[in-house]
Copies of this chain bind each other. A is one copy, B any other.
Amino acid sequence: LLRSLSSSQRDRLCVVLVRARNPNNIGAVARAMHGFGFTDLRLVNEYSVPLERARSAVDASDILAAAKEFASVDDAVADCHLVVGTTAVGERKREHPLHTLAQGGEMLCAALAQRRPSMRVALLFGSEKTGLSNEELSHCQWLLTIPMHTTEGIRHASMNLGQAAAVCLYELIREREASALNETQPSATAADLERLTTLFSEVLAGIGYAKRRPAGAEPGEVRRMVRRLQLSQSDARRLIGILRQILWKIGAST
């Protein structure tokens, strides 16, 4: 299993938007890149209007400011050692190896993690209406697809460009091993749980529950239930205090 990508490894990924027209989408792609720690955005367009509009939008970031424009896919990926296209399956005749995002993401990460500082990887996204053309796809070594749902064999409508980019970039930074994010709360000791079990049984007896429902108040059953709660130390202590006070209240009143 791979570890997560370092900053310098992330810097080696170029996100290439081909014929993206909607400035909001370009801005959304830049935001996702920023959020996941990627920096190199490239646009292939006949016009530079969409990028200018995106730059003037509220969320204009360093990434948009530094984005480069190219006249062709060829130029945009010239310095890249691996070029990968994104596609919706089944739209046209496939002439490339196709990988799901989970598989392809692993391959992209492996390429980015190579010990070779000059190694660059391009990830291409086509226009939302038409995707990448055959000519554009011909620059790619292989293709990546986000697995979409199908109903009766018909693939569902695709997401917008900002969403597709976010999902792909997420896959690249997704942890490949489960790493604990929680300083998990220290759990209750067996001694605390046993004290809790005893107090709980006394309450069940005190309120008459044990008489009405003997099965539910049976010692083994109470003990198992207390363990099922997976209590933290502090919650266990708090419940002990509460049960004591219930007993005191019941006792004081009988």
Q: Could you say which residues of chain B place their CB within 8 Å of the CB of A102? A: 174-175, 178
Q: Could you say which residues of chain B place their CB within 8 Å of the CB of A160? A: 28, 31, 162
Contact B209 A31 (CB under 8 A): no
Contact B34 A97 (CB under 8 A): no
In the bound complex, what is the Cα–Cα distance between A171 and B174 (angstroms)?
10
Contact A238 B216 (CB under 8 A): yes
In the bound complex, what is the Cα–Cα distance between A163 and B24 (angstroms)?
13
Which residue, of A102, A147, A170, A181, has the highest number of chain B Cβ atoms within 10 A?
A170
In the bound complex, what is the Cα–Cα distance between A111 and B242 (angstroms)?
31
22 A–B pairs (Cβ distance < 8 Å), ordered by A: A31-B160, A32-B159, A34-B156, A35-B149, A35-B159, A61-B157, A99-B182, A100-B179, A100-B181, A145-B181, A149-B173, A162-B163, A167-B170, A170-B171, A203-B246, A206-B249, A207-B242, A209-B245, A225-B235, A228-B232, A229-B230, A253-B253
Given the interface contacts A99-B182, A204-B242, A242-B204, does A31 sit within 8 Å of B173 by beta carbon? no
A231 interface residue, CB < 8 Å from B?
A: yes
Q: In angstroms, how far is the closest chain B Cβ from the Cβ of A110?
A: 14
Contact A98 B204 (CB under 8 A): no
A133 interface residue, CB < 8 Å from B?
A: no
Q: Could you say which residues of chain B place their CB within 8 Å of the CB of A164? A: 166
A49 interface residue, CB < 8 Å from B?
A: no
Closest chain B residue, CB of each to CB of A59: B157
A146 interface residue, CB < 8 Å from B?
A: yes
Q: In angstroms, how far is the closest chain B Cβ from the Cβ of A248?
A: 8
